[in-house]
Amino acid sequence: MSPELEKCSRSLLVCEKSNFTKEKSRYDIHVSKHYFNYKVSIVIPECASLPASIAGVINSFNSYYRVRDLPIYKLLEEEFLEKVVKKGQFYALSYNTRIDEDNTIAFLPSGQLILSVDKDTYEQLGLEGKPSQYKHRKVLRYVVTIDLTDKLMSPGAKRYQRLITSLKEWVPIKCDLMISSKMTAAEEDGGVLQNLLSQYSFEEHRPTLHTHTLKEMPCPSLHSTDRHGDEKSCDPHHFLEWLGAVSMDISSDNEASSFLSTYVCPDPQSLMSHGLLCTVTGFLIPEDIYSLLLELRRYFDEPKFTSWLSMTVHGFVDSPVSWGTTEHGFLKSGENFYNFVCFRNQDYWLHMATGSHDGCPP
């Protein structure tokens, strides 16, 4: 093998098979703990247009804000901390920052603050952290995790004052942030957020929807189990590769022309007369994605020509976390996504993928 190929970083891919109705199924936890998502893609075979019920859920997705040069300590001041951050529905993530080079910030809905910073910034902050698992021979990055719901972090407490002093005076970090909250401006707590935003340059955005019709293309044959007599199902990993080709509009007819390589749809396969690829992009929170998943499960309440559909959720490649507080590190590809294949009988396949500098998916 070429020495260059041997240097390619590994990735982690977990495939789980279960049923949505099983009591021990943890699919909802996997969705709720994947906090920061920028794209969700849906593939529905033998479907010509987006069903109104699914479109309605997508149109109800939460809006989000992009704020420029926001001092991080402003999100930690007493009123904002108590009325917004600690309510459990607040998401914030720095953008235009690279996880391997810049200081990145994240506020989790669990009330935790994540600071992924370089060595110089860490030493100036004076806060307790740990070396990043994304490291070289020398430790160049540190991760600081602060539980803002801890009683020792209450306004007026020594640890709270130290945090404010660190981010306001010692290292006054400012960055562009994406912010989302389920609170509305009409609510008192939502008014606190609006008041903060009004002091800085910000834009409100809605998730963007795009649909694409798939026509006359080979499609893997899928079955929820292998208990269908002589019927065989496509390998889950090969199916995931096919999904990637569909989303990138890569032909799978295996016709060689001027290209050095070709791609062919995995076996067993059939011809899909038409299908739908639906993509939603933006700063997407888990609550909205979970609502979409529930609606996709209801798609089979009425007879359909297909026995399955798929939903893929992509996390930000430069997010400091993947699932929960598990550190996410970007080296070459930044894998950070999961995929559901939903079957008519409520069985599902769940793929979870991360890069080589991440902990194993949950």
pLDDT of the chain, 362 residues: tens digit per residue: 445 544 555 567 788 889 999 988 889 999 999 999 999 999 999 998 999 999 999 999 999 999 999 999 999 999 999 999 988 889 999 999 988 889 999 999 999 999 999 999 999 999 999 998 876 678 888 999 999 999 888 888 999 999 999 999 999 999 999 999 876 554 555 689 999 999 999 999 999 999 999 888 888 888 876 444 456 778 888 888 888 888 887 776 656 565 556 677 778 778 888 899 999 999 999 999 999 999 999 999 998 888 899 999 999 988 999 888 888 876 666 678 999 999 999 999 999 988 766 766 77
Q: Which of these, 162, 170, 149, 169, lies nearest to 84 by C-alpha position?
A: 149
Does residue 256 share a domain with residue 286?
yes
Out of 205, 221, 236, pick the residue that ends a domain: 205
In a domain, 168, yes or no: yes
In a domain, 332, yes or no: yes
In a domain, 361, yes or no: no
DSSP per residue, 22-91 = -TT--HHHHHHT---EEEEEEEEET--S--HHHHHHHHTPPPEEEEEEEEGGGGGSHHHHHHTGGGT-EE
Out of 205, 230, 258, pick the residue that ends a domain: 205
The range of the structural domain enclosing residue 122 comes to 65-205
Number of domains in the chain: 2
Residue type, 226: D
